[in-house]
Amino acid sequence: MGQNHHDGVAAYKKIQSAILERIEGGHLQPGDSVHSERELAKIHSVSLMTARHALTELEREGIVVRRRGAGTFVAPPRIHFNKLVGFTEQMASRGLQASSRTLVAKVVTGEPEIAARLNLSPSTSLVKVERLRQGGGEPFSLETCYVSAERFAGLAKEPMSNGSLFAILERDYKLEIAHADEEIDAIAADARMADLFDVAKGSPLLRIRQVIFSTAGRPEIYVLGIYRADRHTLLVRRFR
């Protein structure tokens, strides 16, 4: 078709953008069929190789999944853990509506291990907020946050069903979040988790334990997150 290299690069990016716009606009849902290579080549007046490259890149990014003999489909949404942002922001970056169901929001005592992680005395009262986080109607994570009840008095009464905990802490409590130390491992779903995530008991789940620090260097938030392993990708940049 007389394309030079730069035209081909621009063309495959244009195809990707068109598909992403349809996904983010809600016109294509997870599991929906995406145009084939031949259809994309015809629609965008490009070579079959350019159309194939566009789909290959989208598959590499986890946006689509290609099934041999069946076609190309919108992949289940995934979260990429490469930046310290809240769940609401993570979902927004994927073009998905975030929602939550609050399971627990109360002041608790008798959590010496968690209090120690927050550099507090063993008997310190903590606000515990446990929420089932959903994106695009799919259960993504079971998230339990702990903060000092003295430092964040009133947080248990905050309406957080669809709000960002980070946003509330930054806006109402003037907390400036800097970084998090994380421990990541795999666990098996118990009966409660299996029910919440709609998976079989014993299914693999990802567990991430975070201690989140303020810009003053103080540990302020402890987060225990349980995630569906098929909905998340951990990206790590390593330097030599």
Tell me the per-residue pLDDT of 73-93, one tens digit each, with 9 for 90 and over: 988 766 555 455 555 556 555
> Do 131 and 157 fall into the same domain?
yes
Number of folded domains that form the chain: 2
> Do 122 and 169 fall into the same domain?
yes
10 pLDDT more than 80 = no
CA distance 73 to 90: 22
CA distance 19 to 187: 35
Q: pLDDT at position 197, please?
A: 92
Residue 238 maps to a domain: no
CATH number for the domain including 96?
Answer: 3.40.1410.10
CA distance 112 to 120: 9
Residue 240 maps to a domain: no
The larger pLDDT score, comparing residue 101 to residue 118, is at 118
Residue that terminates a domain, selected from 74, 92, 107: 74
pTM summary value: 0.63
> Do 53 and 113 fall into the same domain?
no
> Do 226 and 198 fall into the same domain?
yes
Mean pLDDT of 176-205: 92
CA distance 205 to 195: 13
CA distance 183 to 208: 6
Range of the domain at 68: 5-74
The larger pLDDT score, comparing residue 170 to residue 61, is at 170
Over the stretch 127-154, which tens digit does the pLDDT of each residue have? Answer: 999 999 887 677 888 999 999 999 998 8
